[in-house]
Amino acid sequence: MTETKSCTKCGQSKPLDQFKKDKTRKDGHFPQCKQCVKEDRNKNKGKIQDYMKTYREENKATLSESRKDYYKDHQEEERANRKAYYWEHHEKELATMEKYRRTQGIKPMSENKDCSLYLGVHVTEQAIKPILPNATRMEMHHPKYDYLCSQGYKVDVKSSSIYYYEKKNAYRWMFAINKNMEADYFMCVAYDNSENVNIIKIWMIPGKLINHLGRLSISPGSFEKWKEYEIDPTEANVCVDKITS
């Protein structure tokens, strides 16, 4: 038989699961049912918000210290909870953020050519899909490489628009290698500019040749030097071992 309890607000007898648990009560449950509590909260929503706002302002220092102490004692638990919540509500969170950003006049990366990631991520990722169709894309901002080739090679993708180097009166492309010693290959994609985003060249360069560099500079005059590693951007399913064989 289901155990019941009478609500002190509406007087109705309801199952115990219709009452919030309260260890301070003799029977372990709050005297008012959940429905009545909800109705009271909605009825007094404005008053409750004003009270909580005033309370937080008057006890700001105490609450801040309390939160710090709690987080310090439950740091790992809180991190795990945030991570679990993020993945459980991932799509909803992304949709909410996109809606907010649009209301603020902020365009998404795929539409904003002024965004630093527009060329390096959105455009380049679409361009190299036919080249590495079976590669595994790493998560955004992976520190050492962007793709894991179907052959097991780590490929770091770099992109650059041509720019004029006034000091040497020359045009060139600059690729940030950042002395990355982990990547097996660097796929360097050269564009005419960030507006037209036409691909001029793509090179698949072995990491052992340029791992030690902070930046790789390639000019039109040095195309012949890298010709061995040049690949056709229209060619499909180009594997690293095929390029370098």
In the prediction, which pLDDT does 12 show? 93
Tokens of 187: 């796929």
In the prediction, which pLDDT does 118 show? 52
Q: Give the DSSP H or E segment for 63.
A: helix 60-73
In the prediction, which pLDDT does 244 show? 47
Q: Give the DSSP H or E segment for 102.
A: helix 90-103
CATH number of 116-243: 3.40.1350
pTM above 0.85, yes or no: no
Indicate the domain borders of the chain. Answer: 4-73, 116-243
Task: Give the integer Cα–Cα distance in Å for 94 and 100.
Answer: 10
Q: Which residue has the tokens 């002190």?
A: 8
In the prediction, which pLDDT does 235 show? 64
Task: Give the integer Cα–Cα distance in Å for 149 and 132.
Answer: 7
Low-confidence ranges of the chain (pLDDT < 70): 1, 94, 98, 100-102, 104-127, 140-141, 194, 233-245
Task: Give the integer Cα–Cα distance in Å for 190 and 161.
Answer: 6
Asked whether the CA dihedral 90, 92, 93, 97 is positive or negative, the reply is: positive
